[in-house]
Amino acid sequence: MVVLKEGVNFVQIENIELPIFYSPAKNKNSRVLWILFSAGGPRRKNNLAYPTFDRVSWAKGKFQGECLIFEDPSYYYNKGIQDGWYLGTGEKTYYQLIAQLLTEYIQNQNINSSNLRFFGSSTGGTAAICVSSYFLNSISIASNPQIDISLWSTYKSTCSILQNTDLQLPFFIKSIINNTKSKIFISFNIGSDSDRIQAQQLFSYMGITDILQDGIFQRNNIYIWLYSIFTEKNNPHNVFPTFGMLLPIEQVFFNELPNEVMRKNFSYYSELLKDYYELNEQIIANKK
């Protein structure tokens, strides 16, 4: 049985140690379990710290229900990787191991899979989409994920290190977005060239012929929110929705709003996000 203490845990599963940060529910009546995935980046490649959990402040102080944050073991078992995508070993991806662990955990805690909320950005967003596909009616929210990792700048260096791993993730993602098991919300900052490429690939996978432009798009169980935010002080790839936007994003799956209302809502959220990052840019500039 999976038993987690508050804070950092290392859970052994099939000879792999999965690092998990656990935060108990603030509201004991909440049955929603949030599962967050840490992303990659230079700090992983340089092995500055392991595990490095993203958004611990969210887990500790913002969610009403329980929250788990997973770190990618790729950075421990394969030194020098910058983006691991939770690809795992040649036998199993870490997605499969995490799904096994979560299946046992929610059974023990009597949590319905429809109460699972997955979130991540960049490589963590890819993980959120992939792991959610194991759980019926779960919801995943992914910001600037890699839809086709072969189009990402660090793909070749990852391949050179993970030589025994089956790197067929692009095809896995394509199969996920064409199923209806989980509900998926993906946001892209198309002001970032690298993320614009990924958004275009997602449109291609889904057969969407619309021009890539700001707005909200829906196909079956998947929503796509595109916005254009250009930054100088911040890496535009790191432009994500704020925590306060998670609730209205989550609610798109429960509130059947007319298309025009949905469009206006997300146009407003895009403007809020632009204002937020413009202010952030000014703060950084004033510090220098």
Residue with tokens 């993980």, as numbered in its chain = 127
* Predicted pLDDT at 68: 98
Q: Looking at the domain assignment, is residue 221 inside a domain?
A: yes
Contact 69, 53 (CB under 8 A): yes
* Predicted pLDDT at 102: 98
Low-confidence ranges of the chain (pLDDT < 50): none
For the chain, the domain total comes to: 1
* Phi, psi torsion values for 128, nearest 5 degrees: -60, -45
Q: Looking at the domain assignment, is residue 2 inside a domain?
A: no
Instruction: Write the pLDDT tens digit of every residue in 101-141.
Output: 999 999 999 999 999 999 999 999 999 999 999 999 999 99
Q: Looking at the domain assignment, is residue 177 inside a domain?
A: yes
Q: Looking at the domain assignment, is residue 55 inside a domain?
A: yes
Instruction: Write the pLDDT tens digit of every residue in 250-264.
Output: 999 998 888 899 999
Residue with tokens 């890539």, as numbered in its chain = 212
Q: Looking at the domain assignment, is residue 57 inside a domain?
A: yes
* Predicted pLDDT at 156: 81
Q: Looking at the domain assignment, is residue 204 inside a domain?
A: yes
* Predicted pLDDT at 165: 54
* Predicted pLDDT at 160: 77
Q: How many CA atoms lie within 13 A of 225 on its CB side?
A: 29
Residue-number span of the structural domain to which 153 is assigned: 7-287
Pairing status of strand 116-121 against strand 222-227: unpaired
Q: How many CA atoms lie within 13 A of 101 on its CB side?
A: 23
Residue 26: give its domain's CATH number: 3.40.50.1820
Q: How many CA atoms lie within 13 A of 35 on its CB side?
A: 28
Q: Looking at the domain assignment, is residue 208 inside a domain?
A: yes
Q: Looking at the domain assignment, is residue 218 inside a domain?
A: yes
